[in-house]
Amino acid sequence: MPSVHESSFKETNVELLVFEASESSGVSFASIKQAAENIRGRAHVTPVLSSKLINQILSAGETEFFFKCENLQKTGSFKFRGAYNALSCLKESDKGRPIVTHSSGNHAQAIAAAAAMHNTTAHVIMPQNASRVKFHAVKSYGAHLTFCRPTTKDRVRTAEQVREAVNGILVSPFEHPGVVAGQGTVGLELMQQVKDLEALVVPIGGGGLISGIAIAAKSCNPKVVVIGAEPTLASTAFQSLQAGERLQATGASDTVADGLKSGIGVLGWQVVCRLVDKVITVSEEDIISSMKLIWERMKLVIEPSAGVGVAAVQSEEFRELRFKRVGIILCGGNVDLDHLPWQN
């Protein structure tokens, strides 16, 4: 059974909370709108799809779901938005210097592609257990690869070593305001594409995606409810909200949702603790079955991380909220077709 953390659906001044989140994180609605201009013509404006059949399966037809298809974004995930925007925001004196990052795959691909488009070199640190399809994709964009042990601590340490060696610029997957502002364009687009949304459901890993989306969405409509979705096996945002302080991941997670293994970051926590109304955690079985459902019924290739949000809306806790119009972020579609989770 999924677990849930919820605030009070923010009966306090939402505008003040958005201001506080922006001040502490360095990401504002203005910077998200600027990011939208920076990525215009480079990133796709991804479609929003709906399905009466899926509405029936997920909620007996009581809720209309709108799926924001970031699985159809360049490099196969929302990460391209943040990567391209971050490189667009570099100071003139830093342009041309090598870009360094660490990632389990999607941000790695995004940085590699964005660096090539900015005519600079990317150095990417990936965990040894990274998905084969993501590893090969990073190489195809021309990045230099370094492998490390599959822990956040080792990723960060190795990235810093490489950065020093090449005199590079570190662009973190979720601790960089330019990255988070770029991810916020997902929420900005969705709020423009679909009117009168009551809630948004967003997967949480390091917290960059949900942070940007929360600032954008609540700036557009302070009444919209932002709900995070996490694997139970990688639920540091949920646990941090329960504890009232940011908790770090204690080790490598075994969740099938490989894009969500990172613990909630410092920047993400500054926004999540103020603007995220609820976090639902879901089991591995529910993640896999939800991923398979979207493949079979909507004919959309999504990765397990995207299945986390779909699993969350099937929980009793979510259904009891009785929302009528809900946006779900399908965050990515990079899957190793030789190792589908329901075939293991």
Identify the active-site residue in 25, 104, 172, 262: 104
Tokens read off for 275: 């603007």
Identify the active-site residue in 68, 74, 79, 278: 79
Separation CA 264–CA 262 (nearest Å): 7
Sole residue written with tokens 């590079």: 168
Contacts of 344 (CB under 8 A, 6+ apart): none
Helices (H), 26-118: 29-39, 52-59, 79-88, 106-117
Catalytic (active site) residue 315: no
Separation CA 162–CA 168 (nearest Å): 8
Contacts of 8 (CB under 8 A, 6+ apart): none
What is the DSSP secondary structure assignment for residue 70, as one 8-state letter? G
Catalytic (active site) residue 33: no
What is the DSSP secondary structure assignment for residue 297, as one 8-state letter? I
Catalytically annotated residues: 79, 104
